[in-house]
Amino acid sequence: MDLGIAGRTAIVCASSRGLGKACAHALAQAGVNVVLNGRDEAKLDAAVKEIASDTDVDITPVAADVSTSEGQQTLLAAAPQPDILVNNNGGPPRKDYSELDREAMVNGVVMNMVTPIELVQAVIGPMVKRKFGRIVNITSASVKHPLTGLDLSSGARAGLTAFLAGVARQVAADNVTINNILPGAFDTDRLRSGLQGAANAQGVPIEKIVEQRMANIPSGRFGHPDEFGNACAFLCSTHASYITGQNLLIDGGDFDGAF
């Protein structure tokens, strides 16, 4: 399917690996010029080479921490008026709610709520004037399905969801859409790291933890990052102009609910 966005420009935050990279790759395959972002220059360079190997678009790497004002300025300097913004950022580490102090809570909210809102504020005006814009926020399945120890991440991402729900309605008539994708268990370095941590804590092989985790997913497997990336690219397409203010849960049926 031709997504109708070839020649557009996208900023994809935290895209040197994992789901962010999958989104950037899918957009590049659709003909979109992509600004890649990450804090690790080696991983960023590797992502550029991987995406460039089978696409013919401009790929601009930007090594920066998007949680900081300086990082955001560097990122926006590479593409001051993007047509597409994919917000993504690492979340705070797993920690029991009773152990969180004020500094940790503020940092978590900055990472997963304030930062994406600031980037939306920076790019949405020109999108409205051009009558085209696509904003996709990578949040988490934990927004709908809270997970013990991820209370801070869940709360901050839920706050982002609620904040932008109203904004999405304000700009819908200008062909600017804002949607959220809520990933469940996808086969990424982040997931594998968490599974290895659980295996170490229980003193069992990681294969056992993987088997147990997959057994709880109706699809019987982890998601592939390219499945996520393709869903993101579709939400950025011309075909998705009537989809806005929505939360797309991609978790293989893990969330046990009808709504």
Of the chain, the percentage scoring pLDDT greater than 70 comes to 100
Alpha-carbon span 235 to 177, nearest angstrom: 9
Contact 209, 199 (CB under 8 A): yes
The pTM (predicted TM-score) of the whole model is 0.96
Query: How remote is the C-alpha of 203 from its chain's centroid?
Result: 32
Region(s) of the chain under CATH 3.40.50.720: 9-186+223-250
Superfamily of domain 9-186+223-250 in the CATH hierarchy: NAD(P)-binding Rossmann-like Domain (3.40.50.720)
Of the chain, the percentage scoring pLDDT greater than 90 comes to 92
SS3 of residue 53 by DSSP: coil
- What pLDDT score does 94 carry? 85
68-94 per-residue burial string, b: 16 or more CB within 10 A, e: under 16: eeebbebbbebbeebbbbbbbbbbbee
pLDDT at 174 over 90: yes
